[in-house]
Amino acid sequence: MNDVENSTPLVDIGVNLSNPCFQDDWQGVLQRALDVHVTQLILTGTNLAESEQVLSLCQQFSDDFPDMLYSTCGVHPHEAKQYSAETGSQLRSLAEAPQVVAIGETGLDFNRNYSPPSDQERAFEAQLEMAIELQLPIFMHERDAHQRQFEILKNYRDELPDGVIHCFTGDRQALFNYLDLDLHIGITGWICDERRGGQLQALVSSIPLNRLMLETDAPFLLPRTLRPRPKKRRNEPAFLPWVLEEVARCRQQSAAVIAEQTTVTAKRFFRIN
């Protein structure tokens, strides 16, 4: 795990720390992240229960890991059919906590349609309206739904304080449409995948550095460049430097420069110290 060195503080903007695979290892995960200078994590809320849990984790570890943990609150498109007015009210209450720095994960996913597209759009628009009301940035998912997501976002963008398409894996048209809306782009270990990351490797140099942020999406998307690979094949924030290294390689830029700028950008975007 020492073949990629990083001494610049990094922000991991997408961590699913409420995933059961981390349950007996929270302290270790956080310490290993700090050991490689991943100094702040944004924990992802994907439904009401997980939004409550990730906020609770932020509070639980605030003494041992001060100023390290922040969270989002929202409902993922897979779970959009469960979204109700009551859900929105409870999310709004969660968002009052100082550790909650964005609304989401929300958006559209027409790849699997675990929730009908109409329910996805309804929940997405409700959370866009919440982000505008609370003046919080929005943390977005999108898969096989770029055109519709882009159309909806155009109607709200002027009032939204900010937004990020997390775990971007789309094509050139999608990237430039999102950039035209002055959105940020989150890059994960997908870029480290020699089988399916080629398109992203070619596109990442087109992202303005002040619109680029880094994330693991842990425990998913373990970087395939990681050596040795962990036995459990579980991704974690300590592996963010491998994402940084591949982004730097593809952009033909210094990893230190990218680390510094993505950290500045993430802190500004989420309004964290």
**What average pLDDT score do residues 236-261 get?**
98
Gap between the Cα atoms of 235 and 223, Å rounded: 8
pLDDT at 200: 98
| β-bridge pairing 163-165 and 100-109 | unpaired
| pLDDT (tens digit per residue) in 68-91 | 999 999 999 999 999 999 999 999
Q: Which of 217, 236, 232, 226 is CA-nearest to residue 27?
A: 236
Residue 125 has pLDDT above 60, yes or no: yes
Gap between the Cα atoms of 41 and 134, Å rounded: 21
pLDDT grade, residue 3 (50/70/90)?
Answer: low
pLDDT at 232: 85
| Crossing angle for the helix pair 85-94 and 117-134, to the nearest 10 degrees | 40
Rounded to the nearest 5°, which phi and psi values hold at 190? -55, -35
pLDDT at 6: 81
Residue with tokens 């579980």: 234
Residue 1 has pLDDT above 50, yes or no: no
Tell me the CA distances in angstroms from 182 to 114, 160, 163, 263, one per residue in order: 29, 11, 8, 18
Q: Is the pTM of this model over 0.95?
A: yes
Mean pLDDT of the chain: 96
Gap between the Cα atoms of 252 and 254, Å rounded: 7
Residue with tokens 């906020």: 55
| pLDDT (tens digit per residue) in 185-195 | 999 999 999 99
pLDDT at 4: 75
pLDDT at 158: 97
| pLDDT (tens digit per residue) in 198-245 | 999 999 999 999 999 999 999 999 999 999 888 889 999 999 999 999
What is the rounded (10 degree) CA torsion for 38, 42, 47, 53?
A: 80
Flag the least confident range among 3-12, 26-35, 37-46, 237-246.
Answer: 3-12
Q: What's the CATH number of domain 10-270, 3.20.20.140, 3.40.190.100, 3.40.50.300, 2.60.40.10? A: 3.20.20.140
Residue with tokens 């939204």: 160
pLDDT at 26: 97
Q: Do the beta carbons of residue 216 and residue 167 sit within 8 Å? A: no
pLDDT at 2: 46
Task: For the chain, give the longest Cα–Cα distance.
Answer: 49
Every domain of the chain and the residues it spans: 10-270
